[in-house]
Structure formats: C-alpha cells, structure tokens
Amino acid sequence: MDVIELVQQVRADGLHLHVLPNGNLKVSGLEPTCEKWLEQIKANKLHIIPLLTEGLQEFEDLFRFISPLAKWNEKDYQAWLIDYMSTPDEVLRCLRALRCSWKEGRYGYLLSSDWMH
C-alpha cells in the first residue's frame, strides 16, 4: 500500500492526521483504531508529513468550511478526498470557488469570478 492509500484508509477508519507546528505528526481517533494503524503510520511518517503539509491541510480546511453549509457527509468527504489524491490542484481550485460562493451568500452557485480565488 502506498502512502496515499494509507492516508485514505486511516481516514476512512475515522482517524485524523495532523501535522503540528513543531513538525510532528499527531494521530487522533478511537484508541483501538489508532493501535490498529500505529505501526504503519510510524513506518511511513516521513512520507505522510509532506503529503499532509503540501495541500491536504488546505483541502481539510476548505471541506470543513463547506460541508456543514452544503450538508455534505462522510461519503462526500471520501469522494472529494479520492479526487484530491488524483488531481489536487483541480480539487483545491473547485473548493476555493465553492467557498467564495458560500461566503458571498450564493449557496454554491458559482460565477466566473469565483474561480479567480
């Protein structure tokens, strides 16, 4: 399993991966699930941290902002994450445009100007 698949599986099991300001990796979730994945996470830590810091954090922040407004659920998260893993730039661009639309009170209705952000 490559590092992208590992991160997807860990998240699908309900764990959250965060890079702390000091550069350490934090894993949070239910203890039995953490224990299940701990060895693989430790073995791949040096590959996971760059993956999380190179755009995935922005993806997470954008999704967290939009999901309650658009009433997205865990299945939506998984679908967006899969797309993000294969086409990160396009997904971030789309989520930024959606965020702009929601902030301006258009409830997800996109204008061409939304794509400039």
**pTM, 2 dp:** 0.61
Q: Mind listing the pLDDT tens digit for each residue in 29-77?
A: 999 999 999 999 999 999 998 888 777 789 989 999 999 999 999 899 9
Q: Is residue 1 over pLDDT 90? A: no
Beta bridge partner(s), residue 28: 16
DSSP E strands, 13-100: 16-19, 25-28
Mean pLDDT calculated for residue range 78-89: 81
The total of structural domains in the chain comes to 1
For residue 31, what are the domain limits?
A: 3-116
Interatomic CA distance for residues 66 and 100, integer angstroms: 10
For residue 22, give the 3-state DSSP assignment.
coil
- 52 Cβ contact partners less than 8 Å away, ≥ 6 residues apart: 7, 17, 18, 19, 25
